[in-house]
Amino acid sequence: MPAKSQSLRRKLLVWLLLPLLILFFLRAGYNYYYGNALSNRVYDRMLITLASSLSQQLAYAATSHELILPRAAYQILMSDEYDEIYFAIRDTQGHIIEGENRMPPVPANLAEQQQSFSTGRIYDREVRIINLRHTLEHDTYVIQVAETLTKRSLLSREFQSGVILPQMLIIVLATLIVWFGIGKSLVPLKRLQKAVSERSHLDLSPVSGEEIPAEVQPLIHAINDLMARLSKVLDVQNRFIADAAHQLRTPLAGLKAQIDLALREHDPTITLQAIQNLRASTDRMTRLVNQLLALARNEPMAERAFRKLPLDLGLLASQITMEWVPRALEKYIDIGFEAPNTPITLQGDAARLKDLLDNLIDNAVRYTPHHGQVTVSVFNNDRAHLAVTDNGPGIPLDQRERVFERFYSVLGHGAEGSGLGLAIVREIARMHGGEARIESGPTGIGTRVSGVF
C-alpha cells in the first residue's frame, strides 16, 4: 500500500509559520513579564508616595509620648476606588503599633535598606507592600502600606492586549498571504501535471520547463533525460522488431515453399531433398534469430546489464575456438589458435566476448573456401587484441567500413549471411571501451578482423 503523500503547500506553510508562532509565544511571554514589571513600577511609585505621605502625618500626642495619625491620613488611605489599601506601623521589634493586624511581617532585608517591596496576602487577597523605615525624633518605626493588585492587573492586561492582539492579527494575515502565495507559486506545477497527464503514451518529447521555479528545474531535467533514454529504448525495440520482421519474412517464405514442395511431391528423392533444404533453412533462420537477439542484447541502451569482471582473454578464446573445430572440419578448414604464454587479463563480460568471437569465427569459416585456413590469435600490443585471420577472398578497401553496418553483405562471395555479424562485433568492442578493425591478412591475402581493447 503506497504511503500517504503529504501536501507541499501545508509543509511550506508549517515551515514558514512555525518560526512566527515560536516568536509570537516568546514575545507573549516577554510581554506578560514586561507588562507586570511595568505595572509594578508605576504603582510602586504611588505606594512610595502614599507611604511617604503617611510618614509625614505621624506625630506624638502633646500630653503623652504616643503616636497619633490624623484623620486626613485615613482619608488618603481610603481614597482608592479600585483597590483596598491597608497600613501598619511597627516598632523596631516588629510589633504592630497601629493599623492592620494581619499585615505580613517586615522582610529581613529592610534592616539594610531605607525601603523595600514585598508581597503577601491579607484576607486571602494578594497584596503588594511597601516597607518604609521612618525616624520620628529619636525613635525608628517601619511604615507598611499594602495594596491589592486590581489596578496592576488591569494595566498589565491592557498593555498585553495592545501588543498581543495586533501580533495575532499579523500572524493571521501572514498565514492567509503565505497560503495564497504558495498556491500561486504551485500553479506552474499544476499546469505541468496537467500537461504530462494529458500526453499520449507515445509522446516522449521533452517537457517544457517554462515558468517552472528554479528549484524544480533539476526535476524537469531529470524527467527529460528519462524521456530521452526511454525514447532510445523504444527506438531500439522498434528497430529490432522491424529488422526481425524484414529478415524473417524471406526465410519463412522459403520454409513454406519447401514444405509445400515436400507435400506435393510423391518422388521420395525430391521429398528428401526438400526436407534437407528445410533443415538448411531452419539452421539459417536459427542463426539469424540468434544474431538478432545478440544485436539487441548489445545495443547501447542494454549496457545496464553489462558486467565487467577480470578474465583471461587467451583462455576464453582457446575454449571458444575448440567449439568451432567440428564446424571447420566440415569444410576441411585448418583452424588454429595462437596466444602468448603470459595471460592477457581483460575487464570484460565473458558472454558478450563469446558472442564477439563466435561471430568472427563464423564469418571466417563461412567465407573461407574449402581447405582454407583460419587462425584465432590473442596478443598484446599496448592494447589487448582478439583477432581472427583467414585466407579467404578478403574485403575490398572501399567496403571495409560498410560491412559494420547492419544487414550489409559483400557481394560476390557466394556464402549466405545475414549481414549482422560484424555489426555485433563492433557493438561489443565499443561496450568494452575498444573498437573493431579490419585489415588484410599478414601476407596480403584474406582478412584479419580484430577486437582491440
Res 304: pLDDT: 52
Instruction: Give me the residue label for grid cell 529490432.
Output: 240
Each residue's pLDDT tens digit, 18-68: 888 888 888 888 888 888 888 888 889 988 888 888 888 777 654 555 666
Is a pLDDT exceeding 90 seen at residue 335? yes
Q: Helices 268-297 & 350-367, crossing angle to 10 degrees?
A: 140
Q: At what angle do helices 268-297 and 421-431 cross, to 10 degrees?
A: 20
CA distance 414 to 427: 26
Place of cell 518560526: 19
Residue 404's pLDDT is what?
A: 82
Express each pLDDT in 180-229 by its tens digit.
Answer: 888 888 888 888 888 888 888 778 888 887 778 888 888 888 888 888 88
Residue that is written with C-alpha cell 526481425 in the block: 244
Torsion over CA: 377, 378, 380, 381 (sign): positive
Q: Coil, helix or strand for 326?
A: helix
252-309: pLDDT as tens digits? 777 777 787 777 777 788 778 877 877 777 777 777 677 667 666 666 555 555 678 8
Q: What are the chain's domains?
A: 8-156 (3.30.450.20), 214-297 (1.10.287.130), 306-452 (3.30.565.10)
Can you read off the three cell numbers belonging to residue 216? 524544480
Task: Report pLDDT for 414.
Answer: 47
Report DSSP state, residue 342: S
pLDDT at residue 394, rounded to an integer = 85
401 — phi, psi (to 5°)?
-85, -35
| Strand 334-338, strand 125-136: pairing | unpaired
User: What is the per-residue pLDDT for 270?
Assistant: 77
Q: Give yes or no for a contact between 351 and 311, defined as CB atoms under 8 angstroms apart.
A: no
412: pLDDT confidence band, cut at 50, 70 and 90?
very low
**DSSP readout, 143-192?**
EEEEEESHHHHHHHHHHHHHHHHHHHHHHHHHHHHHHHHHHHHTHHHHHH
